[in-house]
Amino acid sequence: MADIVPSTTNQEQGGQREGKKSLPSTRLASLPPAELNAVLERAIEEYGRGVSVYAIANGLGVEHTTLYRQLIKHKEAEWRDAKESRALAELEEAEEEMKLARDPIALTRARERCRAAQWQLERLMRRIYGQEARADNAGRVSITLNIGAREPLDVVGGTVIDDVSKSHPSDRQE
């Protein structure tokens, strides 16, 4: 199979974007499963090397949205792994740029790249980079209502408990 991504750059073509296309104008969904699998695996490899989804899709002769759809449908775990790897590399590059920034503009640009990579990692790798969830009241909800009453009323488990008795209505003896 030929390269998926264009073999030349805009500069090499004098501003024109031309290159090899391994599957020009092919509908990915109509490919036999084995061939589709090979194409998607190659696309993931290219993405892992830093090639944009737009360039990969262009090399395949399909829209980038089509490529995304097929990747998620057929290679979701592998695609997620590639996204995680790329976000980690992006974070590392941005951190290095921050260390080497020579002026405030370069520092700001590197900081924004770092924040964007961190944001992606918080979503892709929540277990490692996400914020810890707090378990307050073990999942219970406590609501205090103060609607024209002399004293606030508490609602616990769908039952209104006034501050005086603090007991369940069925426990009261009248």
pLDDT tens, residue by residue, 29-40? 888 999 999 999
Residue 173 CB contacts under 8 Å (≥ 6 apart), including other chains:
none
Mean pLDDT of the chain: 77
pTM above threshold 0.85: no
pLDDT at 88 over 80: yes
pLDDT tops 90 at residue 161: no
pLDDT in tens, 48-60: 999 999 999 999 8
Asked if pLDDT for residue 16 goes beyond 50, the answer is no
pLDDT digits (tens, 9 = 90+) for 90-107: 999 999 999 999 999 999
From the options 1.10.10.60, 1.10.10.10, 2.60.40.420, 1.10.730.10, give the CATH code of 28-129: 1.10.10.60
d(CA 121, CA 83): 9
Q: Residue ranges per domain, the chain?
A: 28-129, 137-171
